[in-house]
Amino acid sequence: MPISVTRAIAFASVAGAGVALAWKKPYADWQREEKAIRQDIREEQRKARISQSSSQQPRGLSRFIPPAVAAIDAAAPLTLMQSIGLDQWRGELCGQATGRVLEVCVGKGENFPHYDKASIEELVLTDVDGEVLQIARERSRQVLEGLRVETCQCDAAGMLPFPDDSFDCVVCAFGLCKAEDPIEAVREMARVVKSGGKLLLLEHGCGSSALINTWLSLSMKQRFRKDGCFYNRPVERIVQQSGVDILQLRRRHAQTQYMVVASKKEPGALEAQRARKELPRLARGG
């Protein structure tokens, strides 16, 4: 049997074992790892500034590593895989947006071609980066001609500058991966959406395979340095812990890409849920 085939069979066996061992570490572990990565990157940046100011040349083996090699993204194959069919998912998600819509972490406006302009009354765009937001604004004039579009520079993980129940729908595509506190970011989105409205989320995160998740974890620091993105977060758990109701959850590409449709909990729903859980215990106690 050729060596290449043997290796393929061995890899498939390991991958199968990885799928059976779903990675379910506590969310607090993710937070500690992300904090450590941020601290490491800040320290690297500090040392780089010192090196530049003292005009020091690279030492040791780093002198012989070409910049192109050092910049290789170890997770590039997975990133390429996740791009397959992405436009279709953007279309399915953004096609549900109606009424007054807020798009959080708009980036450069990749979602614009997928909105149904006839169903939207107004589109409000937000991003923490003012330059990127301006690019989105200019693109909206071309792609969303005739639709009322407003912009607001703000951080989704902080307090969104809108009153409660302001929007019929909130859209966020690949923004939670960059939020310092993604749970709080989802809570803010839920706060500004109306009762009966929808949260439409598209995100990448951890998969169901221990093999894939280990790979993502090992390349995480490099990816954050490049894009400021934590793309191995437990997205489903984040949305659940934010306190919203998940209406639809779909995953693909080794379970690393998520489409979530959610709604805010109705007033008193959490209390009613707790009460229902208490009834059997009280009955047994009586």
Q: What is the pLDDT of residue 24?
A: 63
With respect to residue 228, please indicate whether it lies within any of the assigned structural domains: yes
> What global pTM score does this model have?
0.74
Spans in the chain with pLDDT lower than 50: 1-3, 5-22, 57-58, 60-72, 270, 273-274, 276-277, 279-286
Q: What is the pLDDT of residue 243?
A: 94
Burial of 163 (0-12, 13-18, 19+ CB in 10 A): exposed
CATH number at residue 139: 3.40.50.150
Q: What is the pLDDT of residue 107?
A: 94
With respect to residue 205, please indicate whether it lies within any of the assigned structural domains: yes
Most distant CA atoms of the chain, gap in Å: 78
Q: Using an 8 Å Cβ cutoff, are 237 and 249 in contact?
A: no
CA 141 – CA 55 distance, rounded (Å):
46
With respect to residue 65, please indicate whether it lies within any of the assigned structural domains: no
CA 124 – CA 65 distance, rounded (Å):
46
Taking the CA atoms of 248, 249, 251 and 256 in sequence, report the sign of the dihedral they define: positive
With respect to residue 119, please indicate whether it lies within any of the assigned structural domains: yes
With respect to residue 188, please indicate whether it lies within any of the assigned structural domains: yes
Q: What is the pLDDT of residue 74?
A: 52
Q: What is the pLDDT of residue 53?
A: 60
CA 12 – CA 14 distance, rounded (Å):
5
Q: What is the pLDDT of residues 254-273, one digit of tens each?
A: 899 999 999 998 766 545 54
Give me the phi and psi of 73, to 5 degrees please: -90, 110
With respect to residue 48, please indicate whether it lies within any of the assigned structural domains: no
The angle, 0 to 180 degrees and rounded to 10, between the axes of the packed helices 210-218 and 76-83 is: 120
With respect to residue 55, please indicate whether it lies within any of the assigned structural domains: no
With respect to residue 213, please indicate whether it lies within any of the assigned structural domains: yes
Q: What is the pLDDT of residues 12-34, one digit of tens each?
A: 444 444 443 445 677 777 778 77
Give the helix ranges, DSSP H, for the chain. Answer: 3-20, 27-53, 67-70, 76-83, 86-94, 130-143, 182-192, 210-218, 220-227, 235-241, 269-285
Q: What is the pLDDT of residue 54?
A: 54
- Domains: count for the chain: 1
Residues 6+ positions from 286 with CB-CB distance below 8 Å: none
Q: Which tokens hold the place of 170?
A: 């909130």
Q: Which residues constitute the domain of residue 151?
A: 77-266
